[in-house]
Structure 1
């Protein structure tokens, strides 16, 4: 939702998908425990790719934070593409039910939309969502991942290492993955280096 303006700055066709289920979205992965939303989003992506005749190596799925998680997930489901993301959540349950979640409307809202309830016992279930996707689609993925993350933000330890572990476990070559360590202090600081990276890619391609 933060990058609608990319349509005016990038040299390419931009499809902006807004995750607007509930107040704060659902990663476009589950609504009330049902994952049929994935079929709708995949159909949209495939139609746009077909209509614009986009070569597989010229497709980019991009986003930060929740949008980064979604970009990775749909790249895996498509089976191809260049995925460029900043600080995605891989352990969704750990993120939504982190310390202080009881007083955070954002976390409760996302959990409620995804599962239809708010219950800390769902942490394990939510944590499994990403692994299920990479387990099902990872071995046939033929694209590239570029993940930007900081160390001080704890995303490297709390999320990104799980992505690399899952990738190895489920057959994604290390050659497909680039992890860029960015010197940032807070999670939201990823935005500027992420936008600069997209500008570099757009100018180069």
Structure 2
């Protein structure tokens, strides 16, 4: 979906670790005391795995809970990992705790999503009895779909990809539609015959909704729809209209309509306690990083910015300036970490903000590093020793930069003469490390890559503690081209 204007709603982020699987979420309070909760599930192309999180829901008047679908670097349909459905129970637990914190009932909840998110909306709505379900172009045979199109999701969800496991996941949603006791739910299923998935993934299952008292089938037969992703875009005004009607308690059907019920000064104590307890930043139990160098207000040369410290309990530290990501550095087993800038800093005063994160992406409070860059200033006791010239960045030979690879398993290799290891990352997220032997290195993850574009940075680490600047490789993993004309033009020929 196209980028929207910047958000006008305040967004809270958190990780609920109450269940067996930690669940990351975002939350935004309702406008004007509205008494409703919209739960949003992500599709496969959602930025950062949060669906509809780009501002398009800013005018929805209810409380909004976005739930992230990213586990071990892949998607799960919010259902299972290696056929263990405790993930589903953990997701349901987050929704229930937020609902109760807002003093709402299941009838005050709308579950909403498109594609993969539409399947999740139907599943959670029908299994847990939420009042309203809005599902755009869902898949019903989930196992077959991930087997054919999203191999990384298939491996995560099934563990061992077998015919039996495919059949089990194919039956989850159809069996639930036939057996669910919640047949009074207000269901809005949006689709189109122009959707390439319609004949296999939607049409055979519509008849299963016979006996549901308010099943609405929105069938958009528009020649302007050219594929799966376009169905939701073409129906966006309808979707937003349905959401706000449901949030206001207006169910689009013939019959008695009860509207209103706002609470101008609602009791927010419970939801605020939930947000506090599950906040992604846990300063009370996760200490902020300790900065050991440079000292506060040090004067540094433009090319001499290096930071060291300790972050017990973290797996990495993340460094930011003026709200923009700068770099990340791994935390060693003893809690130590170090970072050497690979660029010159401009003259003047700089404030870098550093936080630590653990394996569940729980974050510490922030620590500040303040220094001044003055290339003409003489060295003082507050100036750290000038760092040695940065060693050369590693060279990535496989895969070829800007290439298209079949996936889901992608091996990276290259050379870094003189280094002892290379560290790989995507943005601030560390992927892993590989030893360098005779100048050569190879790294292959145990997990499969999600379909789509990826840019990996590789840095070389040396025995004397120096770390090189990044070598970089970009590639596209199979599974995204058919859904993305831009990638098809660039990589598909």
TM > 0.5: yes
Distance change in 2, residues 1:54/1:194 (3 Å): farther
Please say if residues 7 and 13 of structure 1, whose CA atoms lie closer than 8 Å, have aligned partners that are also in contact. Answer: no
* Maintained 8 Å contact 1:90/1:162: no
Distance 1:174 1:161 in 2: 17
**Closer/same/farther in 2, CA of residues 139 and 162 from structure 1, 3 Å limit:** farther
Unpaired runs of 5+ in structure 1? 102-106
Partner of 1:2: 51
Structure 1 pair 200/45, CA: closer, same or farther in 2 (3 Å)?
same
* Alignment equivalent of 1:155, drawn from 197, 203, 220: 197
- Shift in Å at residue 135 of structure 1? 4.6
Matches within 5 A, 1:119-198: 119=162, 122-136=165-179, 138-168=180-210, 173-182=211-220, 183=222, 184-198=225-239
How far does the alpha carbon of each residue in 1:101-121 deviate from its partner, in whole angstroms, 9 at most, with x for none? 4xxxxx111111111133466
Change (3 A) 1:94 1:77: same
CA distance in 2, matches of 1:33, 1:46: 23
Residue 70 of structure 1, CA deviation = 0.6
By how many angstroms is 1:132 displaced? 3.8
1:10-49 aligned at under 5 Å gives the runs: 10-49=60-99
SS at match of 1:60: strand
Distance 1:202 1:80, change over 3 A: closer
How far apart, in 2, do the equivalents of 1:32 and 1:150 lie? Answer: 32
- Larger deviation: 41-50 or 121-130? 121-130
Higher deviation after alignment, 178-187 or 111-120: 111-120
SS at match of 1:8: coil
Q: Give the structure, 1 or 2, with the largest relative contact order (CA under 8 Å, sep 6 or more).
A: 1
CA distance in 1, matches of 2:177, 2:243: 28
TM-aligned CA deviation for residue 193 of structure 1? 3.5
SS at match of 1:145: strand
Structure with higher Rg: it is: 2
Q: Provide the aligned length of Structure 1 versus Structure 2.
A: 193
Determine the C-alpha separation between the residues in 2 that align with 1:155 and 1:177.
Answer: 21
* Alignment partners' CA distance in 2, 1:139 and 1:17: 25
- Flag the structure with higher helix content: 1
Pick closer, same or farther for the CA change 1:202–1:94 going to 2, 3 Å.
Answer: closer
8 Å Cα contact 1:22-1:109 kept in structure 2: no
Select the structure that is richer in strand: 2
Q: Distance in 2 between matches of 1:188 and 1:120?
A: 28
2:145 to 80, 85, 95: 95
Given that 2:76 and 2:153 are in contact with CA atoms closer than 8 Å, whether structure 1 keeps it comes out as: yes
